[in-house]
A and B are shown apart, each in its own frame.
Chain A
Amino acid sequence: MYRYDDFDRQLVLERTEQFREQVKRRLAGDITEEQFRPLRLMNGVYLQLHAYMLRVAVPYGTLRADQLRQLGMIARVYDKGYGHFTTRQNIQYNWPKLDEIPDALLDLAKVEMHAIQTSGNCIRNTTTDQYAGAAADEIEDPRPYCELIRQWSTFHPEFTYLPRKFKIAVTGSPNDRAAVKVHDIGLRMHQNEAGETGFEVLVGGGLGRTPFVGKTIRDFIGKNDLFSYLEAILRVYNRFGRRDNKYKARIKILVHEEGIDKIRELVEEEWSQIKDGSLRVDDAEIAHYIEQFAPPAFEALSDDDADFERHKAENRRFANWVRSNVIEHKQPGYAIANVSLKPIGGIPGDATDTQMELVADLSEKYSFGDVRVTHEQNLVLPHVKKADLFAVWSELDKADLGTANLGYVTDIISCPGLDYCALATARSIPLSQRISERFGDLDRQHDIGELKIKISGCINACGHHHVGHIGILGLDKRGKEFYQITLGGDASQDASIGKIAGAGFSEAEVVDAIESLVTKYIDIRDGGERFIDTYRRVGMDPFKEVLYGDR
């Protein structure tokens, strides 16, 4: 894993000091809340409904054990004993006190962490596949490129006051687990005809009030040229992106209004002038970063482990967990273990201090000290020996972290909604809890199979509802919450934006509505079809009928 050197460390410490001074100025009344706002936002400090919120960056979703342990400590010391993992692979603390935030940031800096790039109209924290470096299906580990993007984009002097925030996501696998098609820039690693590895570049994807799937601006950009190409896109966006209306300021609107061909022309023209400049990264430097993410010291193992098979046969709960939460690893004898933060009836993405510490301990003991955060709000132990899976699961299970539901109907993405968020029009957490309880039975979940429900508490779509197989958007109608259902969204390589099924449902009706959709799917599915496959085959009408009948 990448370790900070003295330059990286110095930068974070300087930033921490800078913010401490700014907070001091605010607390002394030297600057108003108004003047303080942009300063705190650039350090991940938001004002929510009830308190300040601190958003901490987890660059490309990769954590070391000592970092996760520190996140647990911070939850205990500076918050109410828990934190919330988000769809941006970050963690948010909901109850820090302003005067203590500089100390929290200093404690983060001690483990090479910070809140940089978590807010403001800058290039945000880059996200990627949570299974990077472990997945059997990946072409190459994307993290060396993510780290290079992190450095290039950190305090980029030209791109700190963009028209709007800017999100980049990278996948190193043809199976996209990073939702790259709904980001401002999506990078998909692949090989060109000459057999070189590089990236397809997509731009203009996004969610929010005007969702779009990204469009290909370039089929292939070589690794050496990636950074100058990104700079060219950002410069075109910075110069030509709309600034007259904050809802039309994302690059997706520029791409939509000007057309991808026009944007491509501008970007290629810009790129032709900088491509041979100082942003060209040579092979030696790339190799240096690849080395930093070298695979850990795997043992040469047989892929079959007798004890593992025996435990599966003897313990049904363990077998269930393996079936849903354990994923194939590229190294024989190892597996990827997903830690669900979606206990039945729980708050999606929340983890307590002791849970974080436990996962940190387990990662040290069983996964080379490596932990990942997923955009679906779960954690991952990426490199566990099959022989150790039972021990890992047993520990997780005791801490309510062993829920066997990855990808199932109860593995719900939910934004904080009206319980915390000042922009919310409805609650989303309590609804996700009720849906989770309704479908809590594991056999039923297995039977339903993969079904992604995603809930947002307002049109900003932090909960990715547009790309949920079933998406739920909480709205407000004359002081009453109601929920709009979308169907057919997908965040994967086959990305699509869900379609609104029809009129919204009251809070009392919505869980029944979801259940009727699921029942209909089970009635009409062909063998092996997931919900999304059935929807794509039959379309909206049969589902609309069960929701609304003749209504």
Chain B
Amino acid sequence: MAIVKNDSLIEQEWITVDAEGDLPSSDENIIVPLARFKEERDSLLGRNGGLGVELNPGDTPEDLAGDIDRLSIITVNFPAYTDGRGYSYGRVLRERMGFTGELRAVGDVLRDQILLMHRCGFDAYDLQVDGEVALDKVRAALKEMTVYYQPTGDGRATAQSLRERRRAALEQKAS
């Protein structure tokens, strides 16, 4: 039970609330499921504490289009690691909707998926293991592969862009 973000362990500062029921006091930072956010949008935005939204498989991240700058965090739930919908949500949120807050993977988050998640825009991982173990896993996972073929929004140089750079350098040398 540890959250890793930007190469360090971070505290859980958010309360994830259910689809229904009472909310904690207005000062608390809360994360609400997308459906509830859509229903209670105005009152939720009027609270004092921080606000985040949880996406579940089948949700439409585009529903957040008008409010993306008002959210500090979006969590994407992977109920089973085999359910890969969250990868698309990550890319849509980052690359299309321009979300700049924390994008946290929650649920069945395992070492072998972390690099993929990172490539799809996630910057925080809620793992089911304890502190240092979680940090070690994330660190190891992120450096396991160093060659990337696909351009995503993660800023990594693709093999293709490196090839082009090299070709250009060679041409310059030749001329």
Residues of A participating in the B interface, judged by any CB pair closer than 8 Å: 5, 7-8, 10-11, 14-15, 18, 38-39, 121, 151-152, 154-163, 235, 238-239, 243, 273, 277-279, 285
In the bound complex, do residue B145 and residue A158 qualify as a contact, i.e. CB atoms below 8 Å apart?
A: no
In the bound complex, do residue B159 and residue A157 qualify as a contact, i.e. CB atoms below 8 Å apart?
A: no
In the bound complex, do residue B88 and residue A155 qualify as a contact, i.e. CB atoms below 8 Å apart?
A: no
Chain B residues contacting A14 (CB-CB under 8 Å) are 144-147
Instruction: Determine the residue in chain B with the shortest Cβ distance to A14.
Output: B145
In the bound complex, do residue B160 and residue A285 qualify as a contact, i.e. CB atoms below 8 Å apart?
A: yes
Per CB-CB distance, the 5 closest pairs between chain A and chain B, nearest first, are A161-B84, A157-B119, A278-B151, A7-B159, A11-B147
Using an 8 Å CB-CB cutoff, how does the interface string of B91-108 with A read, 1 for contact, 0 for none?
A: 100001000000000000
In the bound complex, do residue A157 and residue B115 qualify as a contact, i.e. CB atoms below 8 Å apart?
A: yes
Bound complex: CA of A64 vs CA of B113, how far in Å? 34
Residues of B participating in the A interface, judged by any CB pair closer than 8 Å: 57, 81-85, 87-88, 91, 96, 112-113, 115-117, 119-120, 144-152, 159-160, 162-164
With contact pairs A151-B149, A152-B149, A273-B96 given, residues A160 and B88 touching in the complex (Cβ less than 8 Å): no
Bound complex: CA of A472 vs CA of B87, how far in Å? 40
In the bound complex, do residue A152 and residue B57 qualify as a contact, i.e. CB atoms below 8 Å apart?
A: no
| A129 → B minimal CB distance (Å) | 24
Bound complex: CA of A273 vs CA of B97, how far in Å? 11
Chain A residues contacting B145 (CB-CB under 8 Å) are 11, 14-15, 18, 155
With contact pairs A157-B116, A279-B151 given, residues A238 and B85 touching in the complex (Cβ less than 8 Å): yes
In the bound complex, do residue B87 and residue A10 qualify as a contact, i.e. CB atoms below 8 Å apart?
A: no
In the bound complex, do residue A159 and residue B144 qualify as a contact, i.e. CB atoms below 8 Å apart?
A: no
Chain B residues contacting A235 (CB-CB under 8 Å) are 88
| A50 → B minimal CB distance (Å) | 27
| A251 → B minimal CB distance (Å) | 14
Chain B residues contacting A243 (CB-CB under 8 Å) are 57, 83, 85
In the bound complex, do residue B81 and residue A161 qualify as a contact, i.e. CB atoms below 8 Å apart?
A: yes
Bound complex: CA of A159 vs CA of B115, how far in Å? 13
Bound complex: CA of A85 vs CA of B150, how far in Å? 30
Bound complex: CA of A285 vs CA of B117, how far in Å? 28
Q: A11-B159, A14-B145, A161-B83 are in contact. List 13 more A-B contacts (CB 8 A).
A: A7-B163, A14-B147, A151-B159, A155-B148, A157-B116, A158-B84, A158-B116, A158-B119, A160-B84, A161-B81, A239-B88, A243-B57, A277-B151
Bound complex: CA of A10 vs CA of B116, how far in Å? 18
Choice from B88, B152, B162 contacting A7 with Cβ under 8 Å: B162
With contact pairs A157-B115, A157-B116, A161-B83 given, residues A10 and B147 touching in the complex (Cβ less than 8 Å): yes
In the bound complex, do residue B84 and residue A154 qualify as a contact, i.e. CB atoms below 8 Å apart?
A: no
Instruction: Determine the residue in chain A with the shortest Cβ distance to B167.
Output: A288
Pick from B146, B159, B162 the residue with the most CB of A within 10 Å. B159
Chain A residues contacting B152 (CB-CB under 8 Å) are 157-158
Chain B residues contacting A38 (CB-CB under 8 Å) are 81-82, 112
With contact pairs A11-B147, A158-B152 given, residues A39 and B112 touching in the complex (Cβ less than 8 Å): yes
In the bound complex, do residue B91 and residue A158 qualify as a contact, i.e. CB atoms below 8 Å apart?
A: yes
Choice from A10, A11, A159, A277 contacting B84 with Cβ under 8 Å: A159
Bound complex: CA of A243 vs CA of B57, how far in Å? 10
In the bound complex, do residue A158 and residue B147 qualify as a contact, i.e. CB atoms below 8 Å apart?
A: no
In the bound complex, do residue A157 and residue B150 qualify as a contact, i.e. CB atoms below 8 Å apart?
A: yes
Pick from A8, A15, A243 the residue with the most CB of B within 10 Å. A243
